[in-house]
Structure 1
Amino acid sequence: MGGRRLDQGDQRHRGRAVKPVGAGLGAALGATAAVLLLASCGGTSEGATQQPPSTVTVLAAASLTEAFTELATAYEDAHPGVTVEVSTGSSTTLAQQIAEGAPADVYAGAGTGALAQLPEGYAADGGEEVLTRNVLEIAVQPGNPQAISGLTDFARTDLDTVLCAETVPCGRAADEAFASAGITATPASRELDVKATLAKVELGEADAAMVYRSDIVAARDAVEGVVIPDEENVTLDYPLVWFDEDEHTLGFVELLLGDRGQQVLTDLGFSGR
């Protein structure tokens, strides 16, 4: 766990009661399970109608790309005829798109600051939980040829370093870490989201990038990670919001919050709920 939590900056979110899994979601999932059980029984009774294909539309932070891709495939395999459409990108941009009318059944962001972009009462017909947590880590070239060791290296003028844009969660978290350490970073560029930031190092266009620990794990051998000490790091909560109680919306939410979903997230470097 990091030493500090990213300033969430959303008074509406902090002051509003949300539906706990054990209450509203639990009851809804019980009804959903009954429907799915009936649908899975062999044969159909006389007069029964075929269930139409269903699509669950998911907008998720770029850092969740690998986890949500794997879990969407798992859900589709377990529920023939259901499609889980996952789009990933900047948490802030995705929240703005939802506020402007983009269709979404599920939203998962990095940090809760972007929730301020959603319409008032956004979870009134659904619910909200913390999905997982993440911390910052420095991505460097394999073998760490520039001997980068920590936050202070982002002030070196002989290095090309990259950060996320100031308006997205990974950028805000990096800025908070630097401010707390009294460091003035001198990045060569600031990128749209964490995957674009990581790509600069993967492609050899930067010496170091501030990303999330999960991105280092997902990149495998393409980069190497330099761990930031807990007392200098920042922890981000990842909110999971669902906007309706459709049976497959709730089914996918249950997968994400359940043992299998949490194990996938942990295996990819997230810190758990």
Structure 2
Amino acid sequence: MSKPIIEADNLGIRFVRNRRRQLRLREMFIHRGGRQPSASEFWPLRNVSFQIQPGEAVGVIGKNGTGKSTTLRLVAGVLIPDEGSITVRGEVAPLLELSAGFSNDLTGRENVHLVGSLHGLSPSYLKAKFDEIVDFAGEQVQKAIDTPVRHYSSGMKVRLGFSVIAQLQHPILLVDEVMAVGDAEFRKKCYETIERLLAEGRTLVLVSHNENDLTRFCTRGLYMDAGRLKVDGTVREALDAYNNVVRT
């Protein structure tokens, strides 16, 4: 068997909450010289280990706040673990927070080139694929492509972001609730794109609350609860564990 394309070993990350940062000026004056609210830390993810082989399609399942998206951000390299290690043997196409890389002051056209170049796409490639990218994003985006992105709806930004990232040839595809945004036509395009990428042998890690999406694309499931990996099995086993908790 080849080496895992993604390997997490006792993965943990610590966040610090400092209530003092959220105090209003009046409250800070009252507390001055007296007792200050103390910083507190919490672990959204801890002692998590798993391996994903090339070509696998894995669903990450759990309630909100259980560490699913944090796991994807660690795989993507957006976050750095405080404990353990994460090894990723291949470039990552991150379909998460798709509008995060956009500059609101630039037009949609300019943002296509900005975001594409940030992910390693060449100017010549983006020029050749530009019409295809914009067409995928839909009629609303087409009409507004030379308008500053600050005037776009969140759905328009996500559709344009997906259209750019879907052009990447990277072997690992990370998807975080992207298909929950947009109309039925856009979701259909998303499904077709992901199915095509899987057929090409890409590796998929999908975070979703949609059982149909999870069973459609994934054969394996990781069920997360309170920052811990509780079930690593078939997608059905992970979904059953999740549903049992939701029903109680």
State the TM-score, normalized to the length of structure 2: 0.29
Which of structures 1 and 2 has the larger relative contact order (alpha carbons within 8 angstroms, sep 6+)? 1
Larger proportion of strand: 2
User: Structure 1 length as normaliser, TM-score?
Assistant: 0.27
